[in-house]
Amino acid sequence: MTPYAAAASVVDPELPLVTIAELGILREVTEDPGGRVTVSITPTYSGCPALDAIRADIATALTRAGYHDVEVRTHLSPPWSTDQITAAGREKLAAAGIAPPGPVLLQIRPRCPVCGSPDTEELSRFGSTACKALWRCRTCAEPFDAVKPL
């Protein structure tokens, strides 16, 4: 397994249905001639409480794949944005009832992941994790988490 594949297989601790690669926080994985692997990540926001767990999970995944000299670097610039969530990540979020972010200029409110209605309302800026908000569909009345756009 390549170092990138090992790091990319790590799931996000707050959104375990997507990998850190699908979420777009895995930026770069390099291996130098001496076998040292350096992984660069960018958190969804600078105060992400899951960052230590993500770093540890990356190191564990690489060690299990046979890479024992690992460094995980955190970069805050350029900042992460919801544009970095892959198509597969967006599909998995929607399938789990979490509204993936849409184009900010075209969509003010997320569509309901249950019925697809655009008639939604934010109930709380704070959802089940700090990077999500709690919304409700006015059409089907289902509550859902939505990833906060930047």
Whether 68 and 100 map to the same domain: the answer is no
Tens digit of pLDDT per residue, the chain (150 long)?
A: 999 999 999 999 999 999 999 999 999 999 999 999 999 999 998 888 899 999 999 999 999 999 999 999 999 988 998 889 999 999 999 899 888 776 555 557 899 999 999 999 999 988 888 889 999 999 999 999 998 876
Q: Cβ of 146: how many Cβ atoms within 10 Å?
A: 23
- Would the pTM of this model clear 0.85, i.e. be above it? no
Give the Cα separation of 27 and 116 in Å (integer). 31
Looking at 45, 74, 103, the residue that finishes a domain is 74
Full domain range(s) for residue 11: 3-74
Among the candidates 27, 44, 74, a domain finishes at 74
Write the CATH number for 48.
Answer: 3.30.300.130
Cis bond leading into 78, ω under 30°? yes
